[in-house]
Structure 1
Amino acid sequence: MAAFRKESHDEDDDYWSGKKKKINIFDDDVSVEQADQMAKTRVLLKEQNDFDEETDTINWDGSSTAVTSTTKQSPTKPAPDVTPKQTLSPTQSPSMSNLRTQTHTRSQSVTYGIKPTISVQPASVSSTYSKSTERLPNSSSNLSLQEVVSSSAPKGQSSNDRAKMAEEIRFLQRSLERAKESGTTKLSVSDTVRCIITGEPFNLEAYRSREEKLELLDKAIKTNDGNAIITIVLFVQRTIKPSIFNMEIKKRPVAVNHYINYLKYHYDFEAVVDLLGFLGRSEEAAMFKYKQAISTSDPAVKIKNLKTCHRAHFLSEQGLAHNTSMLEEHISLLERQRPIEDADAKDEQEGKVMIFKTYPRKSSIINMSVITTLYYCCFYHAGLSENSLASPAAIRRDYKLTDKQFMWIALSARSRLKQWNGIEELFMTKGWFGGTKTKAVIGFDRVCEVLHNTSAPLDILSKYLRMVDNAEKRITLAKKFKCHDIVVDTYVAMKDRAELIDYAKKLIAHSREAYYAQDALKSTTVKWKN
């Protein structure tokens, strides 16, 4: 204890005797200007070259801070990264009278402590100190002691502030990079279009005036790049009035076509119809609306959509008169098919009608064409009168089918049903004097082809082959269908003995056909040409 007191007493004596040099900014011999200079320039005090020891300094709170000298010369340069340990507010700073009358005790003395964090070379110390001494109190750029102290922060808070500042700098750098990527800077029109084509970042929002936007659009059209055109068209459409947009895009057919295709691809059908109507392309708008109306599979909804389309787009257009009549027939055909389908589906399910058992239906009649509907009705409802919706005659009358169309379809249906006796009535027509005659508007050569394709019996084929007017065509068909009697009879009628002899040689010997040919050659009633 005694040793400790002695050591402490020695240290106090050394302190007051000046053996250990202590710098106190509140000493009587330190003026305010000098203290202000010390606080501002942060002079680093070190021991003499022969004393390589620590120099004790006193912080504002009375604690001691050790500064280790790293050089042999007297310190003349302030440390570059030095902050005071505690900030003294202006109300707490000592006045001039307090500086002169304050009792200098070790525990109460206020000393500006400096703790260097880097080594200072002697050459730089002297040069920096000389420069700092040139700006002493009378300079207007100098700060007061209170301002220097109040602007300084404790070491711990200063590290946090530096970390925050570094994070803020990084944030600003990232923001700058994002700004560059998004193209916040306004590029030229050509560069912006090029960025769109190449996939680089671009910004269209920088173009404010209508002239700039239209210039962008014209430049994109010249490049013939669809992506660039539609990108700028959508930008212009979004940023200007609809009336101005429609007026300007009307002048640019290429942009119009790209925009219409874009709207179709994104199912904005109402916008497509409105734009086509504005452009005067009413026929295209009507047909587009028609395609949209028939896209549904529900027949009731389809009929409703077609009627709406008929009223809105076809009736008002004089140039669509032909298309209007066809649309009306389409609507009436769907309205005819619905009840036929419902009734036949019910009969087929109940199994009461024999024809549906013998020939089950392969598909629904709804959405079929007029010709297919006629074939269906000729096949399943051939005997109905004209006042029935399923009557073939009513379909022929209502949809203005020609005689050839009707006969071809009716003949095909009855031939498939093997109704050979019912075929003849298709060819019966009234003569001039009330009689009847046989006539086929499609030609009996076509009739024979249909019958052959449906595996008609030989006698039926031969019956209608005899009705073929042209002898050469009749012989060709008879040979094709192997109706040998018709070939022989035709050669006899032509009195062509040589051809008949050649043909007889090709027939199977001792067959009925061969004997028939020989009998014709032996006939004495025929006057041969040679």
Structure 2
Amino acid sequence: MASVEDDEAYWNETKSKGFNFDDEDEKAGSQLFGVSQAGTSRLSRQLRSAMPNDASGTSLLLSESTLLSESTLSSSSNSVLFSANTSLAPAKPGDGLLSSSGVSDNTIQRIINSDRITELKPRGKLLPDEELQILRRKEQMRWQPPPVEETLRQILLGLPFSLECYHSLDDKKRILDAALEQGNGDAILCVVQFLSKTLKKSHFTHLMSQRPVAANHYAAHLSTRCQWSEFSNLLESLGRSRDVAIKQLGLVIGSIDSPSRLQTLVNCSVSHFSSGSAEMDRPFVLHTIKLLEWQFAATEKFKSLSSGQEAAESIIGKPALDSLAHACRYHWENPKAKNPIPDPLAPSALCQSLGINQRAYQWTALRTKAQEQAWDAVDGLFISRGWFQGIRLIGGSNSIPMADVAAELHAQGAPEEVVVKYINLVDNVEEKISLANRLQCHRAAIDIMKSQGDRLGIIKLKERLPSRSEEQVYAENALKSSSVRWKN
């Protein structure tokens, strides 16, 4: 029986001592988190004395849940954190006093920061008034607007954000100005949309009138979203009725696909371009109406004359000069015809209706007829015959310079004799020679220098020409001419 009792006593006994809060007799070498308990007690006193004062002048309280009470820690002669004669002056992370204990600066800083409480924490049982005060303070902190820089940073990085905390008008102005100064379009648009929903229309309009960049961002957003009613209301409230009228004109023109819908454009000209700042654009609108009428008529006639190419030759909605090119290609007038029947689709009629000037007409007709290689039609644009078959330029000073005409004909692949004809119509001799050389019309350049008696010029040109080429032989024959009176 004794052996059985000894066995039970063996299995029931333990050498580990349980933890007891009332037991203060611990071994001198026991440590807490790697620091002796006595050292922790001294560290607690040191940190208490190192805590700064808050804004109200009262010292910040150390949380009882984070630091151990000094009464629960026994003194230890083996403490390595502080010596017996250590001064209790405030310690800072990085000081030799703390770093010599083996505790890192980051750990010390975390301990200090964890005890810097910013709000009252309920400890134990609270009175109803105290609990109500704490809840009220938390609610106020919840709705207190964060710094605008932090909110804009979250918008820029695509992080969750909220603008609902910005209640006052000053807060809304501040975050809008900060977004404009930052230059982030997404932030500007987010803030402006928030203001449009939370401000009175008069306040919102006043803010937009003082900040045109924000107004332009919001107007572009509304235009992209096809919110035409809000777009018009915004610009009208800002006094930009001309922008509204031009936008409405573009929408109407884009929707016209038949002659029956031209009336909508007429109505638009009456409602938006009859008064105000948009009245100056009324002539343009009237010309647009005339152009569309001409385009519909020309398209119908083209369809009746040719089949299978209607889609490729459609000119509805094209610019005026494209319509003029169409007229030059399909409705060209023959100036040599006797008693020609006036054609309302002819280029001259279109120019008169839309007020297209002489130079624009000549450029368009020149390119069109040069592509068709209709050189006689090109001559009819610039040259007329006077008395004794003399050449007279059409248009005078309003006409295209002959140097430009020669260059365009050369670019379009015109024969050399056609190009030389217009080179000879250039007034300045030096410009004429330079143009002939630039357009590779060397014979024309040799003839011009020969007529001027410029022997040295022909020699210099001859040296640049390919050996035994036709142009070089032509230059040699010109130099051998005995009928020329050379000046050099």
The structural deviation recorded for 1:489 is: 1.4
1:529 aligned onto 2:479: no
Contact 2:148 2:178 in 1 (8 A): no
What's the counterpart of residue 140 of structure 1?
none
Instruction: State which of 159, 171, 178 in structure 2 corresponds to 1:223.
Output: 178
1:187 aligned onto 2:137: no
CA distance 1:232–1:321, change in 2 (3 Å) = closer
More RCO (CA 8 Å, sep 6+) = 1
CA distance 1:478–1:197, change in 2 (3 Å) = closer
Instruction: State which of 326, 332, 352 in structure 1 corresponds to 2:290.
Output: 332
How much is the aligned-residue C-alpha RMSD, in angstroms? 3.8
Show structure 2 runs of 5+ residues with no match: 1-138, 335-339
CA distance 1:195–1:425, change in 2 (3 Å) = closer
Normalised by the length of structure 2, the TM-score is: 0.58
The structural deviation recorded for 1:394 is: 1.0
Give the number of equivalent residue pairs: 333
Counterparts of residues 478-493 of structure 1 (less than 5 Å): 478-493=436-451
Show structure 1 runs of 5+ residues with no match: 1-182, 351-355
Contact 1:190 1:219 in 2 (8 A): no
Q: Work out the CA distance in 2 between the residues paired with 1:503 and 1:219.
A: 74
2:242 maps to amino acid? E
Q: What are the Cα deviations for residues 30-71 of structure 1, in whole angstroms up to 9, with x where unaligned?
A: xxxxxxxxxxxxxxxxxxxxxxxxxxxxxxxxxxxxxxxxxx
Contact 1:377 1:391 in 2 (8 A): yes
Q: Work out the CA distance in 2 between the residues paired with 1:234 and 1:184.
A: 26
Normalised by the length of structure 1, the TM-score is: 0.54
Instruction: State which of 334, 348, 360 in structure 1 corresponds to 2:306.
Output: 348
What's the counterpart of residue 476 of structure 1?
434
Q: What are the Cα deviations for residues 424-480 of structure 1, in whole angstroms up to 9, with x where unaligned?
A: 22223586x898643162122222212212222222223333222222222233334
Contact 1:220 1:229 in 2 (8 A): no
Q: Work out the CA distance in 2 between the residues paired with 1:495 and 1:434.
A: 28
1:349 is paired with a residue whose SS is: coil
The structural deviation recorded for 1:484 is: 3.5
CA distance 1:254–1:465, change in 2 (3 Å) = closer
1:439 aligned onto 2:393: yes
Q: Work out the CA distance in 1 between the residues paired with 2:351 and 2:191.
A: 55
The structural deviation recorded for 1:378 is: 0.9
Q: Work out the CA distance in 2 between the residues paired with 1:361 and 1:471.
A: 49
Identity %: 26
CA distance 1:461–1:311, change in 2 (3 Å) = same
Q: What are the Cα deviations for residues 319-355 of structure 1, in whole angstroms up to 9, with x where unaligned?
A: 43442212221221112111212221342217xxxxx
Q: Work out the CA distance in 1 between the residues paired with 2:260 and 2:216.
A: 30
1:373 aligned onto 2:328: no
CA distance 1:434–1:227, change in 2 (3 Å) = same
CA distance 1:414–1:248, change in 2 (3 Å) = closer
Q: What are the Cα deviations for residues 374-416 of structure 1, in whole angstroms up to 9, with x where unaligned?
A: 1221122212768433201112212222222212221221121
Q: Work out the CA distance in 2 between the residues paired with 1:229 and 1:486.
A: 65
What's the counterpart of residue 347 of structure 2?
392
1:420 aligned onto 2:370: no
Contact 1:414 1:422 in 2 (8 A): yes
What's the counterpart of residue 126 of structure 1?
none
Counterparts of residues 80-229 of structure 1 (less than 5 Å): 187-190=143-146, 198=154, 204=164, 212-224=167-179
Q: Work out the CA distance in 2 between the residues paired with 1:529 and 1:197.
A: 81
2:177 is paired with a residue whose SS is: helix
The structural deviation recorded for 1:274 is: 1.7
The structural deviation recorded for 1:521 is: 2.2
Q: Work out the CA distance in 1 between the residues paired with 2:416 and 2:145.
A: 82
Q: Work out the CA distance in 2 between the residues paired with 1:307 and 1:416.
A: 37
CA distance 1:270–1:504, change in 2 (3 Å) = same
Q: Work out the CA distance in 2 between the residues paired with 1:401 and 1:521.
A: 49
CA distance 1:231–1:302, change in 2 (3 Å) = farther
CA distance 1:527–1:284, change in 2 (3 Å) = same
2:315 maps to amino acid? I
